[in-house]
Amino acid sequence: MYKNLCKHNFSLEHCWNLLRYLPKWNIEFGTKKAKIFQKDSPKISSPSTPDCEMLGNSAFERPIGRKAAKEIQKKRKKLDNEFGDYGGAAILEKMMADQNECRKQRNEHLKEMLQLAKDRDEREKRRAAAEQDEADAKIMAMDTSSMGAIEVEYFNSRKQEIIERRRNLFAK
């Protein structure tokens, strides 16, 4: 058909293979009637390109083109700018609320960590005090009767330090 009309071979066969099943082409070829050959009819010159008639109220609706899609997008953007982007504001509010919630959780976590550190320090102080009391008790219970003069003097001075520390502790 193309060769008869244009007098050369169709060079875009690969494109036709891609486009031949699209709705636009199906309508055109679906509405064509079968050719009736008449031998006695006079030859009428036909135009070199076939005419394409689109049916007015057909069920076929062409897909939206790129330019039309861009135009619709521009109109939406313009409307959003005119009347405010309430959808974006809602998203922004949600993000701010989430961020505040994260801050609260982080602050609570930091408070817990601080409390745990304080508890650990308190336990460490009590353990050190218990060890000190145990060492003090050993020194206070030490029998100095079988020791030399220097050792007796050393342990007596240590006992005196322990007693003074206890007095200061209880005075506070």
Exposed (0-12), middle (13-18) or buried (19+): which is 152, by Cβ within 10 Å? middle
75 plus 91 within the same structural domain: no
Closest by CA to 28, choosing from 55, 61, 57, is: 55
Percent of the residues in the chain that have a pLDDT greater than 90, as a whole number? 38
pLDDT 10s digits, 11-51: 888 888 877 777 777 776 666 655 665 665 555 555 555 55
pTM over 0.95: no
**138: its two tokens:** 């050993």
Counting other chains too, the contacts that 53-57 makes at CB distance below 8 Å and 24 or more residues apart are: 55/27, 55/31
What is the average pLDDT score of the chain? 81
Which residue is it, tokens 């066969």? 13
113 plus 135 within the same structural domain: yes
Beta strands per DSSP E along the chain: none
Low-confidence stretches of the chain (pLDDT beneath 50) = none
113 plus 153 within the same structural domain: no
Domain span at 165: 142-172
Q: At what angle do helices 86-140 and 149-171 cross, to 10 degrees?
A: 140
